[in-house]
Amino acid sequence: MVKGFKAKGLEFTSELPSNLPPVKADSDRAIQVLTNLLANALRYTPAPGAVKLKLRATSHAVEFCVTDSCIGLNSDQQSRVFKRFYRADKSHSRALGGSGIGLTIARVLLEAMDGRLDVTSPGLGLGATFSFTLPLS
Ligand SMILES: Nc1ncnc2c1ncn2[C@@H]1O[C@H](COP(=O)(O)OP(=O)(O)O)[C@@H](O)[C@H]1O
Ligand SMILES: [Mg+2]
């Protein structure tokens, strides 16, 4: 996947603290969700651009943030991206091959692990951050 970013002309960076506390999670499912978010960032961020993965501990969880420099999502799109089959830019997303269920599944998987998945975007043209939490064990 990291190779894919480079091949597309995206800079990939990560911030992974070494002293994170252990989380309670199904590791296969957690990796599935993270892979999904990175694949979306790769797909929906135009080159030249940047994608960053950042992990941090909060008082009761570890938070995983995938930030990209995509066109961004307005508040209406932010509230809808987790709905089944929703694609923010239909023609563009279809051309890129998305089916619109990845984030729906990711959110269900996280909720089953007592985690959560959210999106924030500072505004159109300013990128987006998809972040999820997993509870501390
Ligand atoms: N990192 C991202 N940056 C911008 N838009 C995104 C990003 N991830 C998802 N989206 C938007 O949310 C929609 C839903 O995502 P998803 O459920 O993964 O479906 P798919 O990737 O199959 O289209 C996408 O079609 C896209 O419009
Ligand atoms: Mg997807």
Q: For the whole model, what pTM was predicted?
A: 0.95
Position 87 scores a pLDDT of 85
pLDDT per residue as tens digits for the range 12-43: 999 999 999 999 999 999 999 999 999 999 99
Q: Which residues pair with 10 in a beta bridge?
A: 49
What number is the average pLDDT over the span 37-66?
97
Please name the residue ranges forming H helices in 1-137: 2-8, 27-44, 75-80, 90-95, 102-112
Using left for φ > 0, alpha for ψ between -120 and 50, and beta otherwise, residue 86 falls in beta
> Residue 95: is its pLDDT beyond 70?
no
Is a pLDDT exceeding 80 seen at residue 101? yes
Predicted local confidence at residue 43, as pLDDT: 93
CA of 105 to the centre of ligand 2 (A): 10
Domains in the chain and their CATH numbers? 2-135 (3.30.565.10)
Ligand 1, CB within 6 Å, residue ranges: 40-41, 44, 68, 70, 73, 81, 86-89, 93, 98-104, 128, 130
In terms of Cα–Cα distance, which of 105, 129, 107 is closest to 117? 107
Q: Identify the residue whose C-alpha is closest to ligand 1 atom 3.
A: 44
Residues 113-117 have a mean pLDDT of 98
